[in-house]
Amino acid sequence: MATSAPPAEIGIHDVLVTALPGSSSRQPMVAFEDHLLRRFGSAEILRLRSGEVFRVLRTTADEVWVLVEGAAHFRLEDTRPSSPTDGRRQQMMADRPTRLLLPFGVRLEVKADPAAVLVRVMTHSEREDPPLAEAT
């Protein structure tokens, strides 16, 4: 079952999770009028095999993640010292199209279960704002 909880239930300040309508062959992911991103830096498609993990922590870039196909576990940790939820961790599972707004300073780990196709849209390219090194 996909998580479509309001931000208060997710637990981390500024994180937004939205279940996307899944019955159409045309799936909107993010639009200017959503006011989710200040600017556009880059976008990419990630295809994760079963059990494969992707980790990221950015200092400047906000990101919008969209689970397009498959299922994934998301683990988040707020590392922003000025955030009211600094240090808080949150987990969720999604198995249908879901959008996640990830603010800068929130660590993300995505694990495919069994496999997943995701779209990642960023306010800054990784060349402009390289992710912080994460231990695997």
pLDDT in tens, 3-41: 444 444 558 898 888 888 766 677 677 777 777 777 888
Looking at residue 29, what is its pLDDT? 76
- Per-residue pLDDT of 78-134, as tens digits, reads 999 999 999 999 999 999 999 999 999 999 999 999 999 999 999 888 888 888 866
d(CA 81, CA 128): 22
Please report, for the chain, the start and end positions of each structural domain, with discontinuous segments joined by +: 7-21+37-122
What pLDDT sits at residue 135?
A: 45
pLDDT of 82? 95
The average pLDDT across 59-77 equals 94
Grouping H, G, I as helix, E, B as strand and the rest as coil, residue 7 is helix
Record the tokens describing residue 26, joined without a space.
Answer: 């045309």
* Cβ–Cβ under 8 Å, residues 112 and 74: no
Q: What is the pLDDT of residue 24?
A: 64
Question: At the topology level of CATH, where does 7-21+37-122 sit?
Answer: Jelly Rolls (2.60.120)
| pTM listed for this prediction | 0.82
Give residue 19's pLDDT: 83
Handedness of CA 33, 75, 46, 105 (dihedral sign): positive
Which of 106, 102, 126, 130 lies closest to 18, judged by CA? 102
